Structure 1
Amino acid sequence: MPAQFRPTPEQQAIVDAAGSGDNLKIKAYAGAGKTSTLRLVAHRLAPQRGTYLAFNREIAEHARRGFPDNVVARTVHSLAYAATPSALTSRVSLPAEPPHELAGRYGLSSVEVPSVTGKALELTPFDLGRMVADGLGRFCRSASPVPEPAHIPVDDKINTGAAEWLRGGLLPSGAPTARCRRAVRVPARL
């Protein structure tokens, strides 16, 4: 902190309380000087290490420049991401394949399925490719070790039996890879 900065009596009380080593909770409104107070605490407690958690990268970057070296400034998201196993984090940022290309790659063709009202609905290769892509996305964002039928989204207008048939037929299968790519098992009727 700059030499000319003088803490308010409230800030000084917080710095003194932090020095005791007890747990401390401070509530203050926006602009009340919370970050300045935390900088005072960080200097007081040096060389003890601390972490400043921010809600966005810009605030974390600003904090990195203002806190002493014993404090690490990071976002809440980066802390959570760092604690997540790499098997899950590697699945989150995969490039998407357009549904029509996915359908073409797996030879998916149009199929008619019954609706909940009994009327036939046509699902195009694009629709089926979108279901597979969305299902892969759901799987990749889940903690499941393998794809499951529930990952495949099916419109509520589709008959329950047909929905189960679609989920089973479009379920990604095969050995997991680092890129979360799977072969698609398609029933003979699709």
Structure 2
Amino acid sequence: MKRAFVPTAEQQAVIDAALRLGNLKVKAFAGAGKTSTLQLVAEHFGQRLGMYLAFNREIAANAARRFSPHVDSRTMHSLAWASVSPSLRSRVSLQGEPPHELAARYGLGPLEVRTVTGKAVELAPFEIGRMIADGRDRFCRSADIQPATRHIVVDEKIDEAVAAQLRTYLLPYIGHLWEEGAAARAVG
């Protein structure tokens, strides 16, 4: 690849530092010419492998068109994502199910619970299904290896002792929902 322009004094200083030191960090404002400078550095390194990290896909795609094939252009997120274990990665792609259908599939009807004021209220199947799905989702966003009662959010208006019982009651359903997803991911 032929050099399209003569580097500025600042760009030449970066090229020299890269050739002398290897790893370095270039900080500059947007539009200051960082990508052009890194292109020059890549040209000076010949066919040595390099990596250009960008904040978003559009910038990474643009860089991929500008750099030689031996420079991998990608987003920081994609680099991090590639290092995540498959078991954690599978947690992100879970299929949703309407909460009322989830409750019906598990045979869960309305539940009567006591509020902090002592009043009895009914939790509809939709609310119960939502608590199960949300509990599974909170587990998936955690580093925990199995669902726990702490992943289940109960409305603060419900008496705390009743909320604790409700969490214990719903926990097995969250486990089932997670296991169903794991089985589906293993098959697909």
Output the TM-score relative to the length of structure 2. Answer: 0.88
Shift in Å at residue 22 of structure 1? Answer: 4.8
1:84–1:129 distance in 2 versus 1, CA, 3 Å: same
Q: Specify the alignment match of 1:147 in structure 2.
A: 147
Q: Specify the alignment match of 1:44 in structure 2.
A: 44
- Matched AA of 1:173: G
Q: Specify the alignment match of 2:29 in structure 1.
A: 29
Shift in Å at residue 123 of structure 1? Answer: 0.7
CA distance in 2, matches of 1:3, 1:176: 55
Deviations 1:113-167 (A, max 9, x none): 1112222222100000000011111122222211111111111111111111111
Contact 2:136 2:178 in 1 (8 A): no
Contact 1:53 1:73 in 2 (8 A): yes
Q: Specify the alignment match of 2:13 in structure 1.
A: 13
1:95–1:175 distance in 2 versus 1, CA, 3 Å: closer
Contact 1:60 1:75 in 2 (8 A): yes
Q: Specify the alignment match of 1:179 in structure 2.
A: 181
CA distance in 2, matches of 1:2, 1:49: 18
Deviations 1:52-77 (A, max 9, x none): 11111111111111111221111111
CA distance in 1, matches of 2:177, 2:156: 30
Shift in Å at residue 6 of structure 1? Answer: 1.5
Q: Specify the alignment match of 1:125 in structure 2.
A: 125
Q: Percent identity?
A: 56
- Matched AA of 1:139: F
CA distance in 2, matches of 1:116, 1:150: 20
| 1:112 aligns to 2:141 (yes or no) | no
Q: Mark the runs of 5 or more structure 1 residues left unpaired by the alignment.
A: 182-190
CA distance in 1, matches of 2:163, 2:87: 30
CA distance in 1, matches of 2:169, 2:51: 48
Contact 2:116 2:157 in 1 (8 A): yes
CA distance in 2, matches of 1:176, 1:112: 26
Q: Specify the alignment match of 2:186 in structure 1.
A: none
CA distance in 2, matches of 1:41, 1:178: 50
Deviations 1:70-123 (A, max 9, x none): 211111111111111100101211110110100110111111211122222221
1:156–1:128 distance in 2 versus 1, CA, 3 Å: same
CA distance in 2, matches of 1:176, 1:127: 18
Q: Specify the alignment match of 1:91 in structure 2.
A: 91
- Larger proportion of helix: 2
CA distance in 2, matches of 1:117, 1:16: 72
Farther-moved stretch of structure 1 (149-158 vs 80-89): 149-158
1:88–1:60 distance in 2 versus 1, CA, 3 Å: same
Q: Specify the alignment match of 1:184 in structure 2.
A: none
Q: Provide the secondary structure at the position in 1 that maps to 2:52.
A: strand
Aligned length: 182
Q: Specify the alignment match of 1:79 in structure 2.
A: 79
CA distance in 1, matches of 2:66, 2:4: 15
